[in-house]
Amino acid sequence: MESVYIPVKGGSLHCRIGGTGEPLLLLHGNGEDYTIFQHQIDYFKAFYTVIALDTRGHGKSIKKQDTLIFEAFVNDIETVLDYLHIEKTAIIGFSDGGNTALLFAQYFPEKVSKLVIVGANTEPEGMKKVELLKVEATLAALKGIEIFNPKFWWKRAVYELMTTQLRSASFELTKILSPTLVMAGENDVIKLSHTQWIAQQIKNSQLVIIPKADHFFLVKNPNEFNKIIESFLKNH
């Protein structure tokens, strides 16, 4: 895998690229970087040209205040694909990366061949109530800490992705045209009813709920996760 830095205004976006075949873009969740997909990179690079992107504000990508918004993430994906001369790609999006993938697929349906969404939510209330309360309490605390220590802006911004920024995003899932696999764990932080609703909104979708699994089953049980996705990608 090769590290590639793609120029954007004010800095660059980092991604790891390797493998052979059709392109497969990996989008991690908030507070993470491309390494959350290490098991998927190792597996899928045998079949696809894997592009594992560090979202802006994460990993080795540009990290500036007030830039962590979903619209910026969507524009960054378009920039990355244009830079790499990729007209169309399959996408795996995990957690907030799944939210970004949903937005990208509705704004640029012609650029998405297949879509895999894992543990995504289109509104904060898509999280289970106790999980949302934890997020909101942490965000309130971080805002207070940031007043005295500006370095906490990043943690505050990450938590705002799950609340303020998610509420500001405009999801119209019926505009998504690509075959879509919607996944979540049975014990996910996302409500089962919300995951089911996402699948229902997308015309050409398939829903898979992993029994006894939590939000991070792609890390905890990568073999099962990878095989489910491989089957979906090969058959659509």
DSSP state of 151: G
Structural domain boundaries of the chain? 2-122+172-234
pLDDT exceeds cutoff 70 at 41 = yes
Phi (first) and psi of residue 43, to 5 degrees: -80, -50
Residue 150 pLDDT grade (very low, low, confident, very high; cuts 50, 70, 90):
confident
For the purposes of burial, counting CB atoms within 10 Å of the CB of 129, is it exposed (0-12), middle (13-18) or buried (19 or more)? Answer: exposed
202, 176 in Cβ contact below 8 A? yes
C-alpha closest to that of 26 among 5, 52, 49, 3: 52
Structure tokens at 179: 């075959």
Pick among 3.30.200.20, 3.40.50.1820, 3.40.462.10, 3.40.50.1000: CATH of 2-122+172-234:
3.40.50.1820
Mean pLDDT within 128-149: 93
Q: How far apart are CA 28 and CA 168, in angstroms?
A: 20
Structure tokens at 109: 């349906």
pLDDT exceeds cutoff 90 at 7 = yes
Q: How far apart are CA 88 and CA 162, in angstroms?
A: 28
pLDDT exceeds cutoff 80 at 65 = no
pLDDT tens readout for residues 81-99: 999 999 999 999 999 999 9
Strand partners, 193: none
Strands 112-118 and 49-53: unpaired
Q: How far apart are CA 8 and CA 63, in angstroms?
A: 12
Mean pLDDT within 191-220: 96
Going through 28-159 in order, the beta strands assigned E by DSSP cover 49-53, 89-94, 112-118
